[in-house]
Structure 1
Amino acid sequence: MKRIFLAFSLMAVALSSSFSAAPAQAQQVLDRVAVIVDENVILESQIDQLVAQVKRRSEQAGQPLPSEKVLRSQAIERLVLQELQLQMAKRMGIEISDAQLDQTINRIAADQGMTVAELRQDVTSDGTSWAAYRENVRTEILTGQVQRAAVQRRVSVTSQEVDSLVDLIDEQGANTVEYHLRQILIPAQSGSSQKAIDAAEDKANNIISELNNGGDFAAIAISRSAGNNALDGGDLGWMSTNEMPTLFADAVDGKSEGAIIGPIRSGIGFHILQVEKIRGQQQVKVQEVKARHILIKPSVILSDEKAKERLQKYRQQIISGEKTFAELAKEHSADPGSASRGGDLGWSRPARYAPEFAEKVKTLDVGTVSEPFKTQFGWHIVQVEDRRMLDATQESKRDKAYQILFSRKYREELNTWLQEIRDQAYVEEVEK
């Protein structure tokens, strides 16, 4: 009865302005409640607007449309689910400010290669008002946040599932990836004495150490390899894992360019391989930086300006040689995790830091002490000690596999969750 009373009350409000402003047209209904959804309603005008929008899009795309009755029914279902999620957003305290809305619209325009003015012209060219478009975008943001809050916690992806999908992706792509290999063979026949085998293995390990310290693989192969391709610098040419010996394939699979592999024991000796080049595989390289910093946190007794001045002083002491970076970090840094190590943050990818910090470590010259700058944690000076590039191909594969699995499960759970909230809701169409 409460919901019926709500419906009639809202219909009365919708009609009241027409009754007072134009008594002679009191029977003309400007809008009406079409559907009651829990404690709120859907108006007839909302259904008409959505139906008209779908019709315009279908006409532009040259797509056939269902009957008016089916189209209206589908529009009602969409609006019911939307209304249920908007009610949830209100209960959860989720709001989208105009500034957030503007940022999203700017991204939409940029993604379509337009300015906001051009997007606005494109939107309004088919009769849609810009204000209505903005509110539709706001609604999409709200419902998206509600869905993520409700559905993400229902999705679980295990490491075993990720590993299995990575293996499947690798298997499907195995024939397309080729490796250019070089080989150094240290002979040790299977019938040799244990002493001879141990000596050959020691020789192979010494060569690997030499290679890891910058030794030239081709030159060492020419001078020390017993392989029949030794005079070619140990060049084995291009081959896929399906074409190379299984012993090599298992060791080479997943390795990056430049990798030194071995020693690999076979019936004829110890093999040392170098992956010179890879083709047919998308390699992902990421940069890591080794940095250290000093953090000063402003407080009720230490203003922003004073914190900045203090770091300026420390910077000058480091540059002049009066103090070392490590000494000052141990004495003054407010970061407990790094202060005891002289401010050392170790090796890390810039993206893992706060945006302002990440930008500094990406652009700062190695060895330079930065000017003081501020992040959400306080004021910093930072010094980049070194940079390196790492092969993140395997990690990228795992990330891709995780995203595939998560997206698949998320869609399944989202559909289930939407059906659940629809089944649990009070929905009543109001007869005309």
Structure 2
Amino acid sequence: MLQTIRENSQGIIAKAIVGLIIVTFALFGVESLIGLANSEKPPAEVNGAEVSAVELQRGVELQRRRILAQMGEDADPAAIDENLLRRQVLDALVNQEIQLQSAEEQGLYLSDAMIDQMIVSTPDFQIDGRFDPNQFESTLRTVGMTPLMYRQLLRKEQLIGQERSAYQLSAFATPAQVKQLLALDRQTRDIAWTRLSRDAVEEGLEITEADLKARYEANLDRFMTEPQVVLSYVELNQADFADPEAVSDADVRGAYEQELARFEADEERDAAHILLEVGDAGEAEVRAEADALRQRILDGEITFAQAAEEFSADPGSAAQGGELGFNARGVFIGPFEDTLFGMQSGELSEPVRTEFGYHLIKLNDIRATEAPSYDERAPVLRAELAAQQAEAGYVEALERLADLSFSSADLEVPAEELGLAIQTTEPFAETGGSSELTNNSKVLRAAFSADLQDEGLNSAPLELTRERAVVVRVKENIPARQLAFEEVEAQLEAELRQERGSEALSARAEALIAALSEGKSLDQVEPDLSWSVAADMARESDQAPLAVNRLAFEMARPAGEQPVYAEVALNDGDLAVVELSAVNEADLSDVDAEMLRQMGGFMANRYGQLSYQARLEAIEAAAEVERN
């Protein structure tokens, strides 16, 4: 065979291939051939720049973690739509790349030194107010990132933020625009309105059976039931494994002794403090000031309470002489708490440095939590120990249930082996039922899965909570069916009455507006109605219903003495006919320069946001994005 290979390698074609490989190696390196063998397209390309699969995978994982954290301890990863999650993360990465390219095109820049400064000044990466590399790396590991990945992410976010800030901070509002907005905001209007009742109109409508049947026949597709299932199931509950009587007195006594030790260590301390902020002052200067103030207190020149009221920068305690009251461990920041719980009653501490500044701490009193007696705690401890023992039995039974349900053709064997009752659910559709079980997402997915629907299998154990699990199987499939006319007759009548009532009510309002616009009075057109009046009504005033108020400020200004009219739907389904008789301009004589400045700042910020949003829409529309 080797001789054959040697002979074939002497041909012209073989030599050409070898020559091509040599040239490729020389020009591009071995990576070029590896790339040819592994040429999978990236998930997306933005103006020729790739959004890598690694970025997408990392983004999906981070977003999945956030979602599961929000779902709580009973989070179900299977409830997350992976395709939807991937699309959302990819869209976000594409938008980020578009914005990053825009920022770089503007010549925006972030040096490595600036990134370093941001990292070392981030509180999450600090211990006792100082940057700690181990803390930095540990924090990043919890979110699946490396320091290099974090630096790249920080750079992107900051560059995008620079461009956003450039638009937002460069926007401005002219004094004329500010005054115009203030004038519109303070403008008032003279209105009146009258209510047209929907109920009164609907009561007078006649809905015949023929009308209802015609509507039924025209909407047969709407009146189909959903396919439903009835499940059989067995439930395993950890509480059933708890047996307080099986817990020995010795175990209860041991648990009580352990609790006593914790009670003896559990104490509260009544403290007061004075906070001196570092601020613009130098570190050494503030420390010297704290030392001097401490000495003045020790010399009796000033009391601690007086010093706190005069010098403390803590607004919550300064007025109370620095008093913080009784607190246990876990309330205060590390250095403060460590100092406090190492002091003797009546002692005044040396200055303590925290991220807030320098503290002088005074310990007023110490009180220990009084431990309850054995007789008080024994029933509780016995129940807790029984619950702990039940957990082991529950886990063992859950594993046994999984094996039995997998190997059994029904639920009879698992129920008999574990002493469980076979129960039945009410019929329910894929959208869920009315009970906790039939509305559980895990149960719904299992009930309508191919394994249970087509194969007739038992489900795997489905954990409803950490202490409860069920195994389900389909007992009955109820196919979709056409609802009879009699079953939906009441619904049809309600729909028709509402629709025709709306039409009749709107026609009545239009006729009333037409008559009023011709100069007729309300008494002439609708003697049973009356006007509700709101003179000089301001925006968002409670003089009229909210819908009436908003419509009044959207209506065109009256031309001359003739009011203008419009209709609006109210929250309860009634209609209101609104009369606008006058628009009253605002008096701006009391507007001072400070108010104009604040309003101008608000408007400029809003204009900046809108400008940047318009910029984003423009660059996103112009970007060439290819999703693979």
Name the TM-score, length of structure 1 as normaliser: 0.36
Q: Which has the higher contact order (CA 8 A, sep 6+)?
A: 2
